[in-house]
C-alpha cells in the first residue's frame, strides 16, 4: 500500500516584537518673561523583565508592558548633571498624568474660568507662564491601563492593578528613563497628586532599595500617606476629627456660619476643638453625659453649618458623603468632594449621596478635549486607542500588602528620609479639599516619627482652593512661586 503523504507542519505565526514608539518635537514658551526653547519626547517605551532559559543556559528579556510618557527637556543645557528632572503622575488609582501635566507643571495649560469652574465649549489650551520647565525638566508617566499605557499581547493588565506592582512598574520606568537619557547624575524629584502621593512615598523607598536611586525631593499635591485618616469606618473615629476643619472652611466659604471671623482664625479654633473636646467626646462614646453631649452638638453645628438635629442623628459623627449633601440641602445644591467651593445640583434633594462630583464635572471635558488635540496636533504622536484619562478599569485594586490594616506608606517615607537625610518634602494643601483634607495631612506628618534633625526637611503650603488647587488662578500663581523655591532649596 502506498504510504500516506505527510502533511507539512503548520508554523505558528510569530507576533512581532513590541518596539518603542517615540516622537520628538521642538517648541518654545515664555516663562517669567524669558523664552525657553525645549524638546518634547512623546510615546511608549517597552518595559521588559529578565528571563533565563535553563535548557540553553542563556539570559534574555521578555517584553511586558508599553508605558506612555511625555518628557520635556530644556534645550541648550550642556551639563545635565546640573539640571533637575522631575517625574510626575496623578492618582486614582486609575488616573492618567494629564491633570498635573496640563494644569500646572507643563508648558501648555487648559483654560478654565479663573475660579476653576467650567467654561463654555469648545475648550482651549494656552501657554502656561507658570510652568516649572524653567526650573526642571519634566517627565509625565501614565501608569498601567491609564493614558495610552497597555500590556503587550499575552499579558494581563490586572497584574499591575495593585499597590506593589504599580510602584514597581513606575519605578522601573524611572530607572530605565534615567539610564537611557543619561540622567542618573541629575537632581531628581517626584511629583504626585492624591493617590500619586501614596505612590511617590512608596517609590521613595523602592527606588532607593531596588535601584539605588536617591532623590532630592518629593512634591506631594493633596497628600494621603495614611488611609487611617480618611477612611470612615465604624471602628475608626479619626476621620471625623480630621475632616472637621475642612467642613468648617466649606461652611465659611458658603456663608452658612453665624460666626463672623477670618478663615484662619476660624480654623485655629476648630482645630483646637477637634483635638480637645471633640476627640474626648468621641472617645467617651455613650459615657458622655447629656450635658456634655448637648455642648458638643452645639459646637459642631456652629462650626459645620449643619443643624443640631442632624448632628444628633449622626451620633456626633458627620460622614463626608452626608456633608456634601446636607450643607446646602435647603438650596437643593451639593458641595464638591474634591473642591467644596464648587457646587452641583442633583435630580432630587433627598438622596444620601451626591450623583457626581462638581470638580470632575468642571475639568473632565476641557482636559479630555485639550489632550486629544495637543498630543496629535502639537506633539505629533498618533494613536487610535482611547486615552484613558480617568478609568475604572484598574478596579478591583489590590492592597494585599495591607491585609487587615489601613494602607500606610508614611513609614516608607520616614525610612527613605532617614537613609537619605537630604531628601526634602513639599506638601501642597487646599483648604477646600474634602478628599484629602489638610488637617489629616498635618496629622500624618506630625506622627511620622522623623528624627528632630529631619523635621525641617518638610515644607507645607496652603491654598484657597481644593484638591486640584491649580485650577484656581491665584493658587496656581502661588504654587509656581512655592514649587520653584522648593526645588532651588532641595538642590542647593
DSSP string for residues in 101-118: IIIIISSEEE---TTSPP
> How confident is residue 119, by pLDDT bands cut at 50, 70 and 90?
very high
pLDDT at 439: 98
Model confidence at 490: pLDDT above 90: yes
Count the helix, strand and coil residues of the chain and give each as a percent rounded to the nearest 5.
40, 20, 40
Model confidence at 204: pLDDT above 70: yes
- Mean pLDDT score, 54-68: 75
- Mean pLDDT score, 340-366: 92
> How confident is residue 15, by pLDDT bands cut at 50, 70 and 90?
confident
Grid cell in block for residue 207: 527606588
| Residue-level length of the chain | 492
Q: Which of 350-359, 377-386, 410-419 has the lowest mean pLDDT?
A: 350-359
> How confident is residue 59, by pLDDT bands cut at 50, 70 and 90?
low
Model confidence at 13: pLDDT above 70: no
- Mean pLDDT score, 163-184: 98
Q: Which of 276, 285, 290, 341 is nearest to 317 (CA)?
A: 285
> How confident is residue 6, by pLDDT bands cut at 50, 70 and 90?
low
- Mean pLDDT score, 87-110: 98
CA angle (439, 445, 449) in 5-degree steps: 145
> How confident is residue 1, by pLDDT bands cut at 50, 70 and 90?
very low
Give the residue with greater pLDDT, 57 vs 246.
246
- What's the rounded Cα separation, in Å, for the pair 16 and 152? 11
pLDDT at 76: 96
What does the pLDDT look like over 390-401, one tens digit per residue? 999 999 999 999
Give the residue with greater pLDDT, 56 vs 108.
108
- Mean pLDDT score, 174-188: 98
- What's the rounded Cα separation, in Å, for the pair 141 and 196? 11
pLDDT at 305: 97
Bond into 348 cis (ω within 30): no
DSSP codes of every residue in 258-269? S--S-HHHHHHH
C-alpha 484, offset from chain centre = 19
Model confidence at 349: pLDDT above 90: no
Q: Which helix (H) or strand (E) holds 426?
A: strand 424-430
Q: Which residues of 220-251 are buried (b: 16+ CB within 10 A; e: fewer)?
A: bbbbbbbbbbbebeeeebbbbbbbbbbbbbbb
- Mean pLDDT score, 413-426: 98
- What's the rounded Cα separation, in Å, for the pair 383 and 372? 10
CATH among 3.30.1280.10, 3.90.650.10, 3.40.50.12500, 3.40.50.1820 for 21-228+363-491:
3.40.50.1820
pLDDT at 238: 98
- What's the rounded Cα separation, in Å, for the pair 368 and 360? 11
Q: Please provide the average confidence, as pLDDT, over all residues in the chain.
A: 95
pLDDT at 335: 97
Model confidence at 252: pLDDT above 50: yes
- What's the rounded Cα separation, in Å, for the pair 194 and 400? 20
What does the pLDDT look like over 219-234, one tens digit per residue? 999 999 999 999 999 8
CA angle (49, 211, 154) in 5-degree steps: 15
Torsion of the alpha carbons at 269, 432, 479 and 30, rounded to the nearest 10: -150
Rg of the chain in Å (alpha carbons):
25
- Mean pLDDT score, 307-335: 96
H-type alpha helices, 8-162? 98-100
User: What percentage of residues in the chain have a pLDDT greater than 90?
Assistant: 90
| Cβ atoms 171, 141 nearer than 8 A | no
Model confidence at 408: pLDDT above 90: yes
Q: pTM for this structure?
A: 0.94
Instruction: Count other Cβ atoms within 10 Å, centred on residue 272.
Output: 11
Instruction: Count other Cβ atoms within 10 Å, centred on residue 257.
Output: 18
- What's the rounded Cα separation, in Å, for the pair 348 and 360? 20
- Mean pLDDT score, 164-186: 98
Domain borders along the chain are 21-228+363-491, 234-357
pLDDT at 416: 98
Amino acid at each position: 500500500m502506498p504510504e500516506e503523504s505527510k502533511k507539512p507542519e503548520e508554523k505558528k505565526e510569530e507576533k512581532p516584537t513590541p518596539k518603542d514608539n517615540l516622537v520628538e518635537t521642538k517648541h518654545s514658551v515664555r516663562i517669567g518673561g524669558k523664552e525657553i526653547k525645549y524638546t518634547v519626547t512623546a510615546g511608549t517605551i517597552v518595559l521588559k523583565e529578565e528571563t533565563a532559559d535553563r535548557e540553553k543556559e542563556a539570559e534574555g528579556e521578555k517584553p511586558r508592558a508599553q508605558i506612555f510618557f511625555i518628557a520635556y527637556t530644556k534645550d541648550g543645557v550642556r551639563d545635565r548633571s546640573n539640571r533637575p528632572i522631575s517625574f510626575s503622575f496623578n492618582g486614582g488609582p486609575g488616573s492618567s498624568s494629564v491633570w498635573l501635566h496640563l494644569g500646572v507643571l507643563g508648558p501648555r495649560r487648559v483654560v478654565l474660568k479663573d475660579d476653576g469652574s467650567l467654561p463654555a465649549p469648545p475648550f482651549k489650551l494656552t501657554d502656561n507662564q507658570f510652568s516649572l520647565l524653567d526650573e526642571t525638566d519634566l517627565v509625565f508617566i501614565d501608569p498601567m491601563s491609564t493614558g495610552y499605557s497597555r500590556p503587550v499581547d499575552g499579558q494581563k493588565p490586572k497584574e499591575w492593578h495593585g499597590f506593589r506592582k504599580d510602584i514597581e512598574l513606575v519605578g522601573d520606568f524611572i530607572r530605565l528613563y534615567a539610564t537611557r537619557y543619561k540622567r542618573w547624575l541629575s537632581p531628581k524629584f517626584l511629583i504626585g497628586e492624591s493617590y500619586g502621593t501614596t505612590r511617590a512615598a512608596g517609590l521613595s523607598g523602592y527606588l532607593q532599595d531596588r535601584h539605588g536611586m536617591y532623590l532630592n525631593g518629593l512634591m506631594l499635591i493633596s497628600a494621603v500617606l495614611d488611609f487611617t485618616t480618611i477612611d470612615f469606618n465604624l471602628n475608626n473615629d479619626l476621620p471625623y476629627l480630621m475632616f472637621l476643619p475642612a467642613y468648617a472652611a466649606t461652611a465659611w466659604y458658603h456663608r452658612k456660619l453665624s460666626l463672623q471671623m477670618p478663615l484662619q482664625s476660624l480654623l485655629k479654633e476648630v482645630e483646637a476643638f477637634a483635638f480637645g473636646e471633640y476627640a474626648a467626646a468621641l472617645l467617651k462614646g455613650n459615657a458622655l453625659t447629656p450635658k456634655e453631649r448637648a455642648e458638643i452638638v452645639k459646637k459642631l453645628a456652629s462650626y459645620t453649618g449643619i443643624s443640631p438635629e442632624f448632628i444628633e442623628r449622626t451620633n456626633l459623627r458627620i460622614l463626608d458623603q452626608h456633608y456634601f449633601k446636607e450643607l446646602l440641602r435647603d438650596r437643593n445644591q451639593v458641595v464638591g468632594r474634591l473642591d467644596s467651593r464648587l457646587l452641583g445640583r442633583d435630580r432630587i434633594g433627598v438622596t444620601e449621596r451626591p450623583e457626581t462630583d462638581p470638580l470632575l464635572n468642571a475639568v473632565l471635558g476641557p482636559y479630555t478635549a485639550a489632550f486629544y488635540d495637543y498630543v496629535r496636533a502639537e506633539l505629533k504622536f498618533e494613536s487610535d486607542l482611547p486615552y484613558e484619562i480617568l478609568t475604572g478599569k484598574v478596579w478591583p485594586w489590590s492592597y494585599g500588602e495591607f491585609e487587615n490594616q489601613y494602607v500606610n506608606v508614611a513609614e516608607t517615607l520616614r525610612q527613605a528620609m532617614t537613609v537619605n537625610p537630604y531628601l526634602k518634602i513639599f506638601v501642597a494643601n487646599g483648604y477646600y479639599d474634602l478628599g484629602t483634607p489638610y488637617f489629616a495631612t498635618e496629622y500624618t506628618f506630625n506622627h511620622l516619627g522623623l528624627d528632630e534633625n529631619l523635621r525641617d526637611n518638610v515644607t507645607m503650603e496652603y491654598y484657597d482652593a481644593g484638591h486640584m488647587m491649580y485650577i484656581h488662578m491665584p493658587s496656581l500663581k502661588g504654587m509656581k512661586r512655592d514649587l520653584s523655591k522648593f526645588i532651588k532649596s532641595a538642590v542647593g
